[in-house]
Structure formats: C-alpha cells, structure tokens
Amino acid sequence: MTDKKVVVIGAGLAGSEAAWQIAKMGVAVDLYEMKPKKHTPAHHSNNFAELVCSNSLRSNQLNNAVGLLKEELSKMGSLIMEAAYANEVPAGSALAVNREDFSSYVTEKIKSNPLITVHEEEVTSIDKDVITVVATGPLTSESMAKAVSEITGGGELHFFDAAAPIVDFSTVDMTKAFYASRYGKGDPEDYLNCPMTKEEYDAFYKALVTAETAPLKQFDSELQEDLTVFEGCMPVEVMASRGYDTLRFGPMKPVGLPVPKTGEDAFATVQLRRENREGTMYNIVGFQTHLTFGEQKRVFRMIPGLENAEFFRYGVMHRNTYINSPGKLTRTYAMREYPNLFFAGQMTGVEGYVESTSSGFVAGINAARLALLKESIVFPRETEIGALAAYVSEGGVSSHFQPMNANFGIIAPFDKKIKGGKKCRNEAYAERSLEIISQSFLDFNNI
C-alpha cells in the first residue's frame, strides 16, 4: 500500500481504464473530467467512456488483431471490455454495444469505487512532479493541448477526423433496403443494405463529389492551413474524389450482399449498421463526412431506401490530437524525460476505441506500480498490447509518425513461416500471445 495518489486527466476510454486499473492495485486516484461543465464538439453525454462515433469495437475474431487485443484485455480484467460484453448488441462477427448503457456501466463502476475521487473540472496544466496519466483524447481542450505540446516539445499535435451520420430506422423504405450480413455471416438484422443500379450510383457519385462541405473555420480556424485527413477515418466525399470506383471497392462494396429480388450483387451497396439493441438506429458504415448538414440530407437521401430518411445525428468533422510519441514515450507510455508523466489513449498515437483502452490499461498499471515503488511492466511484442506500445514508443519505418490501429503487421513475427496461409498464421499469433498473457500477466499485484 502507499499513501501516494495518482492523477488521471480525462475519463474517456483510456482514462477510465487507467483509473480503474490503478484503483485495482490499491492506489488512490484523483480523476479529472471536464464534462458535464464542458464538452468537446463530439462528446454529448455526461457519462464517462463515451463512444463518439461508431458503436462498434470492431472484430471479435481471434485471427483479427483487434479481436486478439480485446481478448488480451478481457483476460487481464479490463473494465472497458467488461462493460462492452455486458452491453453487447448483435453485430455479426463484430463487438458492438448499446452506447448509453455501455457508458453508464463504466460511470457507475468508477463513481462507486471508494479509491477513485472524481473531480468535474477542466485541467489546464500538467504538474510533472506528480504521478499523472494524461488521457484527454483526440479532442483535448485547447489549454490542455497547449500544455501537452509544451511539455512534449511542441510539434504537430492536431489533425482532422470525421464521424458518420445515424439514421432513424422507422424512416427507411424497406421495400428497397434489405437486411443481410455480408456473405450471410451473423444475424442478418445487424445490417441494412441499400443497393444501387449503375444509373443510381452515377447520380449519387456526381452529387457527392460536388456537394458543399462545411467551412473549416466553423471547426477551428487556426488549423485551416495544416489540414491532414487521417486515412482510417477519411470523409466519404474525400474518398469519392479519389476516383469513380473507390467507393465501390470501399464502403459501398456490393459483394456478398445479393439483392433479394434478383439474387445478384448490385452495382454498389450502402450498408447501415445497427446502433442499438432495439434496432431503431442505424449508422451509415464508412460515411463519416464533413458535408454541411443540408447537403448530407440532400445527397444521402439519394440512396435508394433513404429517400425519406430522418437523421438522428449528422456526420461531423473534428480536430484530432496526438503527440509525436516515438522517442518521447517508453513502452509503458511514460515520458522518457519526465518519468512521473504517462500519456494514454488516442493522444499517444494509438488509433481506435480498443487501442485507446489498451494504452490506458498499460499506463494505468505502470503508474500504480510507480506509486508502489515496483518495477514497471513491459508487455512483449509477441502480444498485441505490447506490439502497440512498442510501435508508439519507437515508431514505424516512416519518419512521419502516424496513428496506428491494432494489426498483425506490428506484432513480433515468427522465426519460421507458419504453414496454412494468413488465417493460420494469425491464429498462431493469437495462440502465442494468449499463452504469454495467461502465464505471466494475470495478477499484477503479484508480479
């Protein structure tokens, strides 16, 4: 036990996970969250661990890297994973959640933990003498972004990201749209599909690439000159502008979704994924956008089946924030220069809900261990959680550091080629990793 406290700033996915792990190790936490007094442009609820865009935590399969990362976290007692499985909604081979119930679950757990004291206030500076986990996310408030930039040595901290619109199911024309998961995998009601003929696609494509986007100064005038669009969350209109067929090989891919009336794949198909258990809300998959709201209504209503669609939420474009972490952070997400300071979540350069959670997990247990004067824990590169931490702290081959999703390209390869193709190799990665986790990382209090 220790009388030292750890400060956690930001109760998003990473901060909530970090606070929970620290308390689990018997160390008291002061958790600062600026909601409900102040919200970022994408946060609307007052709960912790809010999912700002999709309600999907992506694949649940172990031969997929994010599926493996989820399993590693679950095995080690992640609060976010516990909340996700407790509030799961069907989504084929993906893990999707009811976002309100998921966030309420996390909030309730954190607020009722006697070792965690919640402070509802915006933090505007960082004290490098106090053990702290900074997890203020991709939309970190301006004053905090400035403090982070100063302490990490400046450099690029911002870029842009976009969110997809959500449609009211009761306004979808089901004589045109149909339920089906691609290739018949999973519950057909997880996805709605809106098939298009070539003529319909031509008209839609033309409207999309010529539609009016919201002026950037509406979001952040300072950043207009330095617009970088993150590839993983590229606005649909930007993707469309890359070529006539780009969408048909991306979010509007028709394969594996035969139209019930003809039994054949359409020329292009828009997919909508169920947002909640009741199936009253569906988000348009891959349609993150920064068209003006009026243009979204006009252009997306050209999609067959959505002619009279009402939107629960329009797509929006937001600022994103991350540190140029390689060389600055260690594999525990602590700063090399100031070992009391840990960073976690999207701002470290991991990308995605589960990835943000994983960095919160690693930073949390290591911040607690620092308070307890125990040696830090570095996860090996043979695990996905360790591979991500290694990528963030050391970077990839490019000199321009870019955020990273969980993937098998960053995990330590096998010495020998695994027979049976990619699927077998990925399964072997998963088996190896879970074995390591089971043998060495299940009880952090006794390591």
Ligand X SMILES: Cc1cc2nc3c(=O)[nH]c(=O)nc-3n(C[C@H](O)[C@H](O)[C@H](O)COP(=O)(O)OP(=O)(O)OC[C@H]3O[C@@H](n4cnc5c(N)ncnc54)[C@H](O)[C@@H]3O)c2cc1C
Site string for ligand X, 145-164 (x = CB under 6 A): ----------------x-x-
53 lies in the binding site for ligand X (CB under 6 A): yes
Enclosing H/E stretch for 422: helix 421-440
Nearest approach in angstroms of CB 15 to ligand X is 6
139 lies in the binding site for ligand X (CB under 6 A): yes
Only one residue has tokens 């939107």, namely: 311
Q: Measuring CA to CA, which residue among 7, 66, 9, 23 is closest to residue 365?
A: 23
Site string for ligand X, 312-331 (x = CB under 6 A): ------x-x-----------
91 lies in the binding site for ligand X (CB under 6 A): no
122 lies in the binding site for ligand X (CB under 6 A): yes
123 lies in the binding site for ligand X (CB under 6 A): yes
132 lies in the binding site for ligand X (CB under 6 A): no
Query: Both tokens of residue 175?
Result: 């004589």
Cβ-defined contacts of 301-304 (< 8 Å, 24+): 302/200, 302/203, 302/204, 302/207, 303/194, 303/196, 303/204, 303/270, 304/173, 304/176, 304/177, 304/194, 304/195, 304/196, 304/200
Phi, psi of 270 (to 5 degrees): -95, 130
54 lies in the binding site for ligand X (CB under 6 A): yes
- Which of 92, 165, 195, 352 is close enough to bind ligand X by CB under 6 A? 352
In this complex, which beta carbon is closest to ligand X, that of residue 31 or of residue 303?
31
- Which of 7, 8, 10, 254 is close enough to bind ligand X by CB under 6 A? 10
The alpha-helical segments, DSSP class H, found in 211-253 are 217-220, 236-240
- Binding segment (CB under 6 A) for ligand X, from list 20-28, 295-303, 323-331, 348-356: 348-356
99 lies in the binding site for ligand X (CB under 6 A): no
- Which of 13, 80, 334, 388 is close enough to bind ligand X by CB under 6 A? 13
Nearest approach in angstroms of CB 61 to ligand X is 16
Q: Using DSSP, state whether 166 is helix, strand or coil.
A: strand
Q: Using DSSP, state whether 156 is helix, strand or coil.
A: coil
- Which of 11, 68, 323, 392 is close enough to bind ligand X by CB under 6 A? 11
Angle at alpha carbon of residue 316, lines to 213 and 273, rounded to 5°: 115
Query: Both tokens of residue 421?
Result: 């193709």
List interacting residues with ligand X (CB under 6 A): 9-15, 32-35, 40, 42-43, 52-54, 122-123, 135-141, 144, 161, 163, 233, 318, 320, 345-347, 352-353, 356
